[in-house]
Amino acid sequence: MSDQSRYSSGSIVRYPYLWRWQSEKGREHGEKNRPVCLAMAFRDPRQNLTHLVILAISGTSPQDEQAAIEIPALEIRRAGLREHKRAWLTISEYNYDVAERSYHFDPGQEPQGRFSDKFLLEIQRALRPLLQSAKGRIDRTS
């Protein structure tokens, strides 16, 4: 599998996601590797870098201050999340990372699954206002 397809939008990989509350406490590392969705993965050919917008997946329902999308059962199976009967994708925050420069992203891992293009479009639509406002971004590039 080429690096280009390995980092495609909609892929489900494992990543030490850093929650906003952890970042606000000054932490720099997530507590555990968890399944995440590469909501957006785009190449910058001039710099030969892959920019990643990473969303956490959780088997626990969201807290009141979190915005999340419940993942349909079919998408749970497509994503390889069989350990979850129900799962949510948090869309009120995201980790930003650069695959080739990351201290956190494992570039050698193969995706465990992938969301359908239709569900990915739904995710990206819900994420758009957050990206435009630049709120909720947790920068993992340093």
Span 3-139: which CATH code?
3.10.129
Tens of pLDDT, residue by residue over 86-134, are 999 999 999 999 999 999 999 889 999 999 999 999 999 999 999 888 7
Percentage of the chain beyond pLDDT 70 is 96
Q: Based on C-alpha coordinates, what's the Rg of the chain?
A: 14
Amino acid letter, residue 43: R
**Which pTM was predicted?**
0.92
List Cβ neighbours of 74 (8 Å cut-off, separation of 6 or more): 116
What angle (nearest 5°) sits at the alpha carbon of residue 47, between those of residues 41 and 53? 20
Percentage of the chain beyond pLDDT 90 is 77
Cα 120 from Cα 124, distance rounded (Å):
6
Separation of CA 3 from chain center: 17
Tens of pLDDT, residue by residue over 54-74, are 999 999 999 988 999 999 999
